[in-house]
Amino acid sequence: MNLYEARASNIRRTWILILGFLLIVIALGYAISWYYGNPLILYAAVALALATNVYAYWASDTLVLSLNRARPASREEFFDFHTVTENLAIAAGLPMPKLCVIDDPAPNAFATGRDERHAAVCATTGLLAMMSRAELEGVVAHELSHIKNNDMLLMTVAVVLAGFAALAANFFLRVSFWGGGRRDENGGGNALLAVLAIAGIVLAPLAAKLIELAISRRREYLADASGALLTRYPEGLASALRKIGGYGAPMRHANLATAHLFIGDPFGAKNATTGGWIERLFSTHPPIPERIKALLALKAE
């Protein structure tokens, strides 16, 4: 598979996941509306889910950096970081993003920002000290690809949908303790449908979370392919991922809220490499050996 085919394949798979996500949310909304015969409950849940996530998206370029204790990366102290990013941003047709660093020996990096003009690329001091120039180019190209592919917007949509599913299900369970619904209004006539509706409502947040994680993993594959397309040198990113996976230890201040943004799992690489299928299912990142294998299989045609 060449670079262009890999990028197109990942985009298709992402949108298939998004479609599945929307179907789950629609089904959840219908089940709750049917059970209570009152759509106002859904409107309240949607408004709450949106309100809790819109701010995070709008202020992402400052909020995420603050949560991860990042500081500005001066040109004098991190000259290679600046020059590599400048060259790749020009090649990608992107404005120069803000550059930041996290004082942490664990090699890692992430990109954030609501759009191309409000974006930041952040790397740990450990990554900048450990990588060769070709490896650093691979990492920066990966992060610029997240910006170019509007991944922050897509992941915000995924978080909103997953948040809606969790809030709606939680609200339903709390209200159900007070009775009401189709079972009470119609005796046993709709008992089976009511049980199915309740089961669907309870399981919907789990399904939504799994799809959210699957989207996050798929966007990592897409950024890998897009980054390789930008540098025309997949081996650089593959070598960088090998070093990131080989380090293993977690970051000092890893944060669950922003873990999916990093190029490698900030809680350590073991879950993405040696963990069982359950750990991998609930991981925000695809296994590093699989990412390296996919990169090395690409051809710059």
Percent share of the chain, pLDDT over 90: 39
Decide which of 115 and 89 is more confident. 89
Residue ranges per structural domain of the chain: 48-164+203-296
Q: Which residues 6+ apart lie within 8 Å of 36 measured at CB?
A: 175, 180, 181
Evaluate if residue 272 carries a pLDDT over 90.
Answer: no
Closest-CA residue to 182 (of 37, 69, 1, 52): 37
Decide which of 234 and 199 is more confident. 234
Catalytic residue among 135, 137, 143, 220: 143
Q: How far apart are CA 223 and CA 294, in angstroms?
A: 12
Domain 48-164+203-296 has CATH 3.30.2010.10: yes
Could you read off the pLDDT of 171-202 as tens digits, one per residue? 676 666 565 555 555 555 456 666 766 777 77
Decide which of 289 and 12 is more confident. 289
Whether 143 is catalytic? yes
pTM: 0.77
Closest-CA residue to 149 (of 122, 116, 180, 101): 116
Q: How far apart are CA 8 and CA 107, in angstroms?
A: 29
Q: How confident is the model at residue 24 (pLDDT cuts 50, 70, 90)?
A: confident
The backbone region for 187, taken as left when phi is positive above 0, alpha when psi lies in -120 to 50, beta otherwise, is left
